[in-house]
A = this chain, B = another copy of it.
């Protein structure tokens, strides 16, 4: 709980740093979102039949990032269309309840945590897109999850690549969904699926194979511009031009070395229209000797320029780009790490403890602690008339309170208060009237 709260606080403060306003989009019913009628009309996601049970199970797996992204971007797009908004920068962070299954009439609700940031509006190319990648970098660095990489591709490059390789247009979606498995399966197995299961010509699959194994930086973009096959596709060239501009902005942001242009990245969701990205942790933060944590991607997103129009009666377009942070996964990683380490997590934020070594100092303690509270200082004391000093100091050690204020007979006589550091056990006497100022000085210094 405390760990989760700290992670969410950190994410929210990053979203606010980028000027986003908090907005809860009205909760969508999964049922409504998943009825085939709804989908056929809007064509939002892959054909249900395409992947057999797999996609269906993905839909109810609320820990899958692509599903989480979907659950947030679709309601956001609908919200923009319903309210005729042309521009907005918003985040949504917090607990959400969704009906678990649409088939059970009396569906149970399941709680999960959502962390999204989106920029809607018609702007000059790649500026908001670059900001989204900057935000992912800031959050993953800030959470100290270890080294990470953000894979970037563009939906137009994916489609262009399929076209020039000779994939029939009717097979784009199903081949795209096979490609999406490359993070868990080898190219050999994916190729087998494409050829044996999905009836792709072997030479077409091999052409795709020559691309999807490529990843790199700006030089790979330049190389693809010269690629005799890919450069035949106007779509792909548009995607490449945007990625080139994106990399220029990412360099100015100082994060280009964290980004990898990866031709195997497809992203499961059908409504992406431009740049797509997915962040993966490079080394798991588990202890040496432990099994590495397989956590999949921890953030993802992309550009979806057509989604708002599908909800607008007049079909007005509002271009959008956004990202989802996979906080459920991040919670898991951080909690696993804490379990294997000896690190103790504080469950409170108390800064100062008010103690006494003598009997009959309850009233003095009450006056003192009220003064601290009124100055905005987080303070605690034991709810006992005459607690033992050792009990009080143990309480501070056990709960991680860094400072102790001690008031006793001698201090009262001299008009002072003792201020003790729990870690160093050092004590200094401070004039009663300077106490709050001294504590504030110490707290701001640490």
Contacts and interface: CB of A to CB of B under 8 A. Distances in A.
Contacts of A17: 373, 376-379
A89 B399 CA distance: 13
A306 to B, nearest CB: 19
Q: Nearest 6 A-B pairs (CB), nearest first?
A: A123-B383, A19-B380, A127-B383, A252-B366, A21-B347, A253-B370
The majority secondary structure among interface residues of chain A is: mixed
Contact of A252 (B18, B128, B367): B367
Given A252-B366, A252-B370, A378 B19 contact: yes
B383 A121 contact: yes
A109 interface: yes
A91 to B, nearest CB: 10
Contacts of A226: none
Contacts of A106: 105-106
Contacts of A94: 94-95
A366 B249 CA distance: 7
Nearest to A97: B97
A366 B130 contact: yes
A88 to B, nearest CB: 10
Copies of this protein in the complex = 2
Interface of A: 1-2, 5, 16-24, 89, 94-95, 97, 105-106, 109, 119, 121, 123-124, 127-128, 130-131, 134, 138, 248-249, 252-254, 347-350, 362-363, 366-367, 370, 373-374, 376-380, 383-385
Contacts of A22: 1-2, 5
B348 A16 contact: yes
Contacts of A384: 123-124, 127
Contact of A95 (B2, B20, B95, B127): B95
A396 to B, nearest CB: 11
A303 to B, nearest CB: 13
Nearest to A367: B252
B377 A134 contact: no
A16 B134 CA distance: 32
Contacts of A20: 348
